[in-house]
Amino acid sequence: MLAPAAVLVGSLASQQAAASAAALRSQSPYAIRTAADLTFRNIAGARFHETWQAVQVRRFLDADGVLVQIRERVTVQGNGTDSSPFQLEFLDVIGSTVTAAQRQSWQYTYRSHAGLLHQHGSFAVQDVDAAHRNYLLYDFGTVRRAGREARRAIVFPRSGDKAIWVVDLDVDTGLTLYAAEYDSRLRVTGELEVNSLAVGAQVPPLGAGWNWTPRQVVDVYPSPQLAIQAMRSAFVLVPDLGQVVAEYVLHRAQITTNRLNAEQTLVFGYTDGIDEFFVTQSGAQPDPFANSPGRLPDPARSKPHAIASYDDPAMRVYVFHEKGTTFQVVGSQGLVRLQQVAWRLCRQAVTGN
Amino acid sequence: MPHAQACMACAGHLRAAMRLGKLLAQRPEVPAEVRDPGLLEAIHVRATQSMLREPGGMLLQGTYGRPPVLPAIPWPLQQDASGLARQGATSGGSAPGWLWTRIRDDLRQQVAKPVLRRRAVLAAVAASLVLALALSKFVGSDGSPADVQIVFIPVDEMPLVDHPAAILRRGGRQ
């Protein structure tokens, strides 16, 4: 007697799951059922529309060019905005033995920087209109990913100094199930692969305090001028980048304040819709070039202004110090124009023009 | 007996002289082209034009009392030419030896000048390119001149920046 009842219960459960999936498919406004649904607006909106949880693997190359694979879990409680509560947790390192100390270190990294990794650590449409102007979206049909039906697309930049992305987008929700970043030489520089996805009611209950909160105080401002006014540092400026990176828009102006010493850092985030670079300004730091030969007093000639330059396959960084403030320009490796951005910023800091 | 009859060699010379004498006495026909007055006139014109450009021609002009047409030649050669012209116009006599030496040197410079000028131009162009390449490092996108000296110093060690790639690199070594 129990067997038929069990079969009945199982049948009912499967029917309910199918009904939920069908309901979900019909409800999500960002579903990508056809090539016509493949738009930057759908891709951008899917991330914050509903509650979802995924176990994913992040792959990248370390400083020595060795592949590193990190398994992580991301949970998002979508509220329709890019400030939707989320959590990004470190789970494990794949393919290598991790000591207890290393595991602690990784956990600390994710607790401290989950926001940066989640919001800027892989493929994301940061600005829909800019993405339309600067990228092309090509449909490559349907694939299977994480046991779900997905639509494969290639995001191709109009400018040659940007990354090319291959993405698999969940048909039902529009969420990104796979993202691979290629440089201009078609070398893979990073991957993010979802292994399992739970959406809506499938997500386990979220307890109190589940979401990530930044360790520093983060204040976002609607304009760079307001952010400048809020800085207590003696010398900060609104970057005048001219036409060097004309296709980039300023999409974020924020001040992060260290809770321990109240040290402020002004951050301007620029995006072309997909790619990003950041200009940070922080005071109360020593000049790293104070004792370099070029800065020694020489009455015979004026001292040159030095910009430290670093680049590897993943990023390029420019750092300089002027009038008590340390400036950083950080972005993707392919964007060689960042050198000119750094030069203009340094000249602006020195001359005020 | 005359010597010409007794000496066979001299008899032969005498016979050749008499034969050639008859031939030389006959004046050859002048070719028709040479008879053309235009040919002679063209020669005169060509010679006059070349002499106008040469230091010797300028000297002759001065000698005949007409002021020379001096080209744009650099000091002090220009002064010498003027002095030569004035000297030739006033003295009316033959030019001194040092003058001919100077003219010879001038002619040699005239011949070498096109090569030197070309080399100088090439050297100037190369220097300008080198200078432009050196300055391009400091010139902004708006082409404004570099009034601030800024140098880029490559570093091998990744700076401490808050970028996802940098954070992941440091991830297991915090």
Chain A residues whose CB is inside 8 A of the B148 CB are 305, 346-347, 350-351
Q: For residue B169, list chain A residues with Cβ-Cβ distance below 8 A.
A: 62-63, 314
Residue B154 vs residue B48, higher pLDDT: B154
**Interval B55-108: pLDDT, tens:** 666 666 555 554 444 444 443 333 333 333 343 334 444 455 555 666 666 666
- Tell me, what amino acid is at A337? R
Q: What share of chain A is helix, strand, coil (3-state, %, to 5)?
A: 25, 35, 35
* Residue of B151, B161, B164 lying closest to A328 (CB–CB): B161
Q: Which amino acid is at A46?
A: A
Tokens at A253, concatenated: 């102006």
Measured between CB atoms, does B144 come within 8 Å of chain A? Answer: no
Looking at residue B88, its pLDDT comes to 38
**Three-state SS annotation for B67-78:** CCCCCCCCCCHH
Chain B residues whose CB is inside 8 A of the A304 CB are: 149-151
Task: For residue range A94-127, list pLDDT tens digits in order.
Answer: 988 889 999 999 999 999 999 999 999 999 999 9
Number of C-beta neighbours around residue A331 at 10 A? 24
Q: What is the pLDDT of residue A75?
A: 96
Q: What is the pLDDT of residues A43-84, one digit of tens each?
A: 999 999 999 999 999 999 887 778 899 999 999 999 999 899
- The minimum CA-CA distance between B171 and chain A, rounded to whole Å, is 5
φ and ψ at A152, to 5 degrees?
-90, 140
Buried b (16+ CB within 10 A) or exposed e, A43-57: bbbbbbbbbbbbbbb
pLDDT (0 to 100) of residue B85: 37
Interchain CB contact of B163 with A (< 8 Å): yes
The pLDDT score that the predictor gives to residue B145 is 43
Question: Are the CB atoms for B116 and B92 separated by under 8 Å?
Answer: no
Residue A109: beta bridge partners? none
**pLDDT at position A232:** 83
The pTM score is 0.67
